[in-house]
């Protein structure tokens, strides 16, 4: 089998185990289900007050309904999901609910005003008052002041909000307003009235917005009218003061200024050239050379006179000088004339430019005032038209929704009696299951062989029921008189399991032990001895529990010797054993020791003693002390062929039992098998395990 198959099998086993636990606790689960279900039924049919719900449906107006083609002052409700959710909260708002409370006078309704209800016999306030009296010794507390009207209204509004629910239908523009009260008519009236208040609130909101817009527009129109008048008067006054005749006259001035500017530039150029020529002519006079001077002045007369001077004409020299002086005087006069003309042109240009600047400034101011006047006039006309349109809308406001269907008679919504009953039955079953599971998993003992074998990892070779005897000495008589009882058959099955535990070599020395005292190991040892002796075998039962020494309580007589006598060599085996006829076997009891029992069983004398017993008997049954109490059992187990580990049913703690098995592993001894002892068959049936000896499957085979 693969690991996956093993895991699946383990999971299936766990599931079946849980189902088995639940089945065994079915009466607990059923009882809890009936108890909790009865409580739920009592609440649903006797205690719970009925509640009725009524629903009014509203439809959001998808198409705009305009009586006139005018833009509304306030826009309608948007169609997106966020807007729809906002309207839901508007309907549930404290403002609308407070209007509903006042409109329907719900402060006088005990269902919403808790102060009008009759105080129950048991309430939190009464319990608090009782505790206060106990603490204060019965001193009267100061009376609480009566609540104010605002406090009563607030608490009533909160209660009414709790009774109102609003929802939208998916993929539609529909609202459902539901009211839940203790009376169907009241629920319908509240739902319908809240729907109408919501529509009225929409109209009132639009009316208030329109009225506010009219007032605001009126103020703005009046302000713009005054501003328009002021700007017109300012423009007229400016036009009266300015020298600007027209734009054409200003353009003529600009043309004249350009002409003067051009003439001024030409005059300045001619003046500069004349001054340069005059300067050069004056400079050339310093040379005194008539030819150079005549060449500079570029004068034909001067050239002829210069030639005459060169020819030696003395009369030509005065004429030459006079001619030069005349030319210089003429050039100087020309320069002065040009300067005078330049100055006149500059003065004319400055004067006309001043006029142009003044008229340009006036033109700019006039243009600015004209633009402001035009803008103010446009704004005034716009606001005036909007004021007229808004004034027309007064009385034309319509809600953005309409009542699609009014709420009718309320339907019963609580208590859901069948649902409460089913839920409480289920809850009770869950509680019962939790109790069963908790009892199972919190229990520290073992109840089934499968559980013991799974946790111990060692096969369970027997399940010994609790034998119905009052005293230990009655055990042998019971087994002899009831050979077909479940207990006797359990011992026979144990015998078979022990003898077949080793196929190669039949176990001869068999040890019976347990983790703690009083787990049935001695009873099991006596019964197994008797069963083996019944097969005709020579069997010796040895008491190795040298501290408690309870084996002698099962017999009437006392043996002639003890275990210590044989081990010490004071007596032989045949001199110390007691032949019990009713048991069909020999018994060797122990006595009080002056030395430690562990030292005795660890000695070579004990090893030799066991070796001699193997020669004398077919089977040797050793009744040893608990392994968790003293180490004797671990020491003795080394000398045995089979170790039977007894675990008391539903008693031995799991960790103690498992720790006892680990004690044997620590000395290298393998426990042959585990026996679930002292099984209480009656209690086992209560837990749901009825398949053991004496159970329903064994009634036809075993006696009682």
Q: What is the pLDDT of residues 345-403, one digit of tens each?
A: 888 878 878 877 777 777 777 788 888 888 888 888 888 888 787 777 666 667 888 88
- Residue 10, pLDDT > 80, answer no
Q: What's residue 340's pLDDT?
A: 84
Q: What's residue 194's pLDDT?
A: 92
Provide the 8-state DSSP code for 703: B
- pTM: predicted TM-score of the whole model, two decimal places: 0.51
Q: What is the dihedral of CA 511, 515, 518, 520, to 10 degrees?
A: -40
Q: What's residue 396's pLDDT?
A: 62
Which range has the top average pLDDT, 128-142, 163-177, 436-450? Answer: 163-177
Look at residue 257 and give its three-state secondary structure: helix
- Residue 43, pLDDT > 80, answer yes
Q: What's residue 67's pLDDT?
A: 42
b/e map 1-39, b = 16+ CB within 10 Å: eeeeeeeeeeeeeeeeeeeebbebbeebbeebbbebbee
| Cis bond before residue 415 (omega within 30° of 0) | yes
What is the percentage of the chain residues whose pLDDT exceeds 70? 86
Mean pLDDT of all residues in the chain? 82
Residue 615 class from Cβ within 10 Å (0-12 exposed, 13-18 middle, 19+ buried)? exposed
DSSP character string of 327-344: HHHHHHHHHHHHHHHHHH
Which range has the top average pLDDT, 10-14, 66-70, 353-357, 586-590? Answer: 586-590
Q: What's residue 243's pLDDT?
A: 62
| Angle between helix 521-533 and helix 486-499 axes, rounded to 10 deg | 80
- 578, two tokens: 């007691």
CB atoms within 10 A of CB 557: 10
DSSP H or E segment with residue 40? helix 26-42
Mean pLDDT on 66-79 = 50
Percent helix / strand / coil, the chain, rounded to 5: 60, 10, 30
Q: What's residue 661's pLDDT?
A: 92
Mean pLDDT on 317-345 = 80
Residue-wise pLDDT tens digits, 168-211: 888 888 989 999 998 988 999 999 999 999 998 988 888 888 88
Q: What's residue 662's pLDDT?
A: 92
Which range has the top average pLDDT, 236-240, 309-313, 540-544? Answer: 540-544
Q: Which of 633, 661, 642 is nearest to 446 (CA)?
A: 661
Band (pLDDT 50/70/90 cuts) for residue 74 is: very low
- Residue 145, pLDDT > 90, answer no
What residue spans of 71-183 are helical by DSSP H? 81-91, 94-104, 124-136, 149-163
b/e map 258-285, b = 16+ CB within 10 Å: eebeebbeebbebbeebbebbeebeebb
Q: What's residue 475's pLDDT?
A: 84
Residue-wise pLDDT tens digits, 516-538: 998 889 999 999 999 999 999 99
Q: What's residue 68's pLDDT?
A: 45
Q: What's residue 24's pLDDT?
A: 74
Band (pLDDT 50/70/90 cuts) for residue 157 is: very high
- Dihedral-angle region of residue 65 (phi above 0 means left; psi in -120 to 50 means alpha; beta otherwise): beta
- Residue 12, pLDDT > 60, answer no
- Dihedral-angle region of residue 536 (phi above 0 means left; psi in -120 to 50 means alpha; beta otherwise): left
Q: For domain 446-686, which CATH number applies: 3.40.50.300, 3.20.20.450, 3.30.1360.200, 1.10.600.10?
A: 3.40.50.300
Mean pLDDT on 641-661 = 91
Three-state secondary structure string covering 511-565: EEEECCCCCCHHHHHHHHHHHHHCCCCCEEEEECCCCCCCHHHHCCCCCCCCHHH
Higher pLDDT, 91 or 8: 91
Q: What's residue 14's pLDDT?
A: 66
Higher pLDDT, 647 or 286: 647
Q: What's residue 689's pLDDT?
A: 56
Q: What's residue 702's pLDDT?
A: 53
CA distance 567 to 577: 13
Q: Which of 545, 495, 486, 497 is nearest to 521 (CA)?
A: 545
Higher pLDDT, 20 or 14: 20
Band (pLDDT 50/70/90 cuts) for residue 6 is: very low
Mean pLDDT on 91-112 = 91
Q: Which of 639, 618, 582 is nearest to 495 (CA)?
A: 618
Mean pLDDT on 279-295 = 72
Q: What's residue 192's pLDDT?
A: 93
C-alpha to C-alpha distances, 550 to 77, 382, 447, 555, 562, nearest whole angstrom = 96, 120, 27, 10, 14
Band (pLDDT 50/70/90 cuts) for residue 116 is: confident
DSSP character string of 355-410: HHHHHHHHHHHHHHHHHHHHHHHHHHHHHHHHHHHHHHHTT----SEEEEE---SP
Q: What's residue 335's pLDDT?
A: 81
Do 193 and 57 contact (CB within 8 A), yes or no?
no
- 375, two tokens: 């803008």
- 611, two tokens: 């070796």
For the chain, the domains span: 25-140+147-208+405-419, 247-393, 446-686
Q: What's residue 283's pLDDT?
A: 74
Provide the 8-state DSSP code for 675: E
Band (pLDDT 50/70/90 cuts) for residue 70 is: very low
CB atoms within 10 A of CB 594: 5
Q: Which of 153, 56, 7 is nearest to 404 (CA)?
A: 56
CA distance 357 to 365: 12
Residue-wise pLDDT tens digits, 477-506: 888 888 888 888 988 999 999 999 887 788
Q: What's residue 143's pLDDT?
A: 62
């Amino acid at each position: 089998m693969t690991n996956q198959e093993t895991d699946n099998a383990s999971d299936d086993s766990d599931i079946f185990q849980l189902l088995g636990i639940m089945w065994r606790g079915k009466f607990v689960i059923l009882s809890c289900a009936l108890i909790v279900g009865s409580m739920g039924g009592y609440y649903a049919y006797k205690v719970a007050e009925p509640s009725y719900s009524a629903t009014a449906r509203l439809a959001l107006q998808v198409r705009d309904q305009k009586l006139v083609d005018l833009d509304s002052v306030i826009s309608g409700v948007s169609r997106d999901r966020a807007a729809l959710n906002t309207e839901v909260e508007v309907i549930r708002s404290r403002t609308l609910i407070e209007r509903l409370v006042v409109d329907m006078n719900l402060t006088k309704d005990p269902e919403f005003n808790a102060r009008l209800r009759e105080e129950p016999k048991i309430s939190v306030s009464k319990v608090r008052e009782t505790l206060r009296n106990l603490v204060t010794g019965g001193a009267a507390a100061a009376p609480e002041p009566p609540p104010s009207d605002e406090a009563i209204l607030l608490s009533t509004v909160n209660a009414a909000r709790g009774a109102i629910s609003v929802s939208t239908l998916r993929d539609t523009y529909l609202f459902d307003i539901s009211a839940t009260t203790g009376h169907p008519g009241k629920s319908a009236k509240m739902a319908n009235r809240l729907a109408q208040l919501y529509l009225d609130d929409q109209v009132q909101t639009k009316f208030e917005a329109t009225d506010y817009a009219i007032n605001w527009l009126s103020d703005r129109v009046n302000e713009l009218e005054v501003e328009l008048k002021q700007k017109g008067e300012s423009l007229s006054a400016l036009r009266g003061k300015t020298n600007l005749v027209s734009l054409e006259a200003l353009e003529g001035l600009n043309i004249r200024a350009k002409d003067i500017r051009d003439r001024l530039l030409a005059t300045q150029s001619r003046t500069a050239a004349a001054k340069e020529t005059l300067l050069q002519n004056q400079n050339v006079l310093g040379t005194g050379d008539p030819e150079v001077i005549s060449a500079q002045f570029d004068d034909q007369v001067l050239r002829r006179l210069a030639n005459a001077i060169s020819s030696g004409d003395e009369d030509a020299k005065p004429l030459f000088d006079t001619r030069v002086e005349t030319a210089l005087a003429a050039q100087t006069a020309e320069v002065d004339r040009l300067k005078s003309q330049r100055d006149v042109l500059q003065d004319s240009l400055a004067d006309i430019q001043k006029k142009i600047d003044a008229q340009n400034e006036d033109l700019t101011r006039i243009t600015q005032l004209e633009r402001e006047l035009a803008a103010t006039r446009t704004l005034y006309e716009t606001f005036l038209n909007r004021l007229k349109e808004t004034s027309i809308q007064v009385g034309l406001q319509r809600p953005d929704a309409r009542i699609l269907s009014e709420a009718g008679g309320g339907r019963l919504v609580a208590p859901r009696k069948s649902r409460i009953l089913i839920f409480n039955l289920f809850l009770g079953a869950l509680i019962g299951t939790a109790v069963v599971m908790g009892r199972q998993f919190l229990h520290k003992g073992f109840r089934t062989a499968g559980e013991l074998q799974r946790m111990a990892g060692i096969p369970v070779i027997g399940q010994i029921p609790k034998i119905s005897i009052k005293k230990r000495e009655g055990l042998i008589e019971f087994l002899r008189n009831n050979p077909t009882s479940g207990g006797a058959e359990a011992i026979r099955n144990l015998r078979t399991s022990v003898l077949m535990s080793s196929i190669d070599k039949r176990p001869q020395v068999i040890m019976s032990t347990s983790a703690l005292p009083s787990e049935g190991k001695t009873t099991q040892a006596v019964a197994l001895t008797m069963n083996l002796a019944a097969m005709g075998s020579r069997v010796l039962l040895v008491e190795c529990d040298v501290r408690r020494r309870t084996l002698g309580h099962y017999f009437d007589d006392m043996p002639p010797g003890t275990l210590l006598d044989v081990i010490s060599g004071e007596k032989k085996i045949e001199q110390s054993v007691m032949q019990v006829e009713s048991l069909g076997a020999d018994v060797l009891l122990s006595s009080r020791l002056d030395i430690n029992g562990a030292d005795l069983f660890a000695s070579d004398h004990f090893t030799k003693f066991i070796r001699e017993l193997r020669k004398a008997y077919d089977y040797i049954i050793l009744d040893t002390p608990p392994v968790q109490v003293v180490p004797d059992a671990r020491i003795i187990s080394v000398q045995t062929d089979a170790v039977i580990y007894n675990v008391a049913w539903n008693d031995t703690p799991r960790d103690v039992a498992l720790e006892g098995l680990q004690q044997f592993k620590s000395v290298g001894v393998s426990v042959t098998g585990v026996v679930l002892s002292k099984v209480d068959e009656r209690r086992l049936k209560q837990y749901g395990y009825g398949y053991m000896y004496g159970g329903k499957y064994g009634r036809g085979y075993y006696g009682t």
